[in-house]
Amino acid sequence: MDVKTPDSLTYPFPTPPAPGETIEVAPGILWIRMPLPFRLNHVNIFLIDDGDGWTVLDAGIGNDTTRSLWEALVTGPLAGRRLTRLIVSHYHPDHIGLAGWLAQRFDLPLLMSQTSFLGCINISLSPGALDAQPYRDFYLRNGLDAKTTGIVTTQGHGYLKMVTPLPPIFNRIVAGDELCIGGRTFAVLSGDGHAPEQIMLYCAAEKLFLAADQVLAKISPNVSVWAVDPLGNPLGLYLRSLNALRRDLPTDTLVLPGHQLPFYGLHERSGELIAHHEHRCAAIEESCRTAPRSAADLVPVIFHHPLDPHQMSFAFSEVLAHVNYMVHEGRLIWTEPANGIARIVTP
């Protein structure tokens, strides 16, 4: 994720809740935070008044710290009202990690997109699946070194350390559905690019937008091509989603995101994210104008600091998202490989 510092947004709740505490961001909507053991050190979770209890949006990462914070919340600030159901926005471990445990511990129905459910189950069934020769070849062919290729193709094992097993049954929710939670009606939206079929919720009556990781105030969510879909265009899908949000939701919507602070300024922030990716595209295009480049060659064009192999694997996958997008748009074309390394140029 790349740090951005926009100043066009307003933050109605500038101080986030401490661990184990809640902040009411709208009548009957509570904001809580769970810590993450990463540079991005927290994830936001929202509780929505559901009559005699609370619907939970996202679970946090699957570790003991988050487990004990949930236990402390239900016996502390949430005491007296049960949890009613769990909605998971997408299959990344900071959001889905503790979902299996939470659903079982509090006997909650689990609502999520089919893609998220199957994506998580798929990794659980076969965590080493990406460490197969066609996937290794994909990274090596695009210029990634053997060490980084080894990291990126074995990430499934790391994922399972952060994710508790899902229950065998879920309730599928799909874009276009309406969800009644307490007295509110939420439109179910989905947006691709950061994660396939990521679920977001929008309450039009009160202009409340639970955005998950699609629109964050100060960072750009990771948008990556993976070896299983090597010609995929996640950046095109992400830009499509941002444009749809700008078109369909009013700008005075309160955005309740998966990380960082709630904010006003959805249209401005969507525009900044679109401009951020166009800026990266322009830099890649400029580099490919002077000579054919591999995807790995282009990483330093976008990421100017030294990267360790783990950071490199993410940087590479992000760069490839921009390359594939521009190939889809006709702004770049694949040219003849050199020493087995695929290369792109401007037409």
| Binding residues for Zn ion (CB under 5 A) | 92, 94, 213, 258
State the nearest-atom distance from the C-beta of 142 to Zn ion, in Å: 23
Least CB distance to Zn ion at residue 252 (A): 25
Give min distance, CB of 44 to Zn ion, in A: 9
The nearer residue to Zn ion, 92 or 184, going by C-beta atoms, is 92
Supply the minimum distance, in Å, between the C-beta of residue 212 and Zn ion.
Answer: 7
Q: How far is CA 321 from CA 199, 225, 230, in A?
A: 21, 5, 10
Q: Extract the tokens encoding 323.
A: 């390359």
Task: Using the minimum distance from each CB to Zn ion, give the nearer residue, 198 or 294.
Answer: 198
Which of 86, 332 has the CB closer to Zn ion?
86
The distance of closest approach from Cβ of residue 331 to Zn ion in the complex, given in angstroms and rounded to an integer, is 27
Closer by beta carbon to Zn ion, 260 or else 346? 260
Closest contact distance (angstroms) between CB of 345 and Zn ion is 33
Please say which residue, 100 or 292, places its beta carbon nearer to Zn ion.
100
CA distance 302 to 295: 11
**Alpha-carbon gap, residue 292 to 342, rounded angstroms:** 9
- The residue among 36 and 320 lying less far from Zn ion, judged by its C-beta, is 36
CB of 216 to Zn ion, least distance (A): 8
- Closest to Zn ion by CB, 121 vs 301, is 121
Give the whole-angstrom CA distance, residue 167 versus residue 173.
16
Q: Which is nearer to Zn ion, 47 or 96 (CB)?
A: 96
Per DSSP, helices labelled H in the chain are 64-75, 93-96, 99-105, 114-125, 133-141, 146-152, 155-161, 234-248, 266-290, 295-302, 309-328
Locate 136 and state its tokens.
């290794």
**Dist CA 25 CA 27 (whole Å):** 7
Residue of this chain nearest to Zn ion (CB atom): 92
Chain length of the chain: 347
Cβ–Cβ < 8 Å for 163, 96: yes
| Alpha carbon separation from 287 to 250, 258, 280, 302, 335 (Å, rounded) | 38, 34, 11, 10, 15
Q: Per the structure block, which two tokens stand in for 54?
A: 């609370």
Please state, in angstroms and rounded to a whole number, the distance separating the CA atoms of residues 66 and 72.
10
| 157 touches 130 (CB < 8 A) | no
CB of 96 to Zn ion, least distance (A): 9
Query: What does residue 325 show for φ and ψ, rounded to 5 degrees?
Result: -60, -45
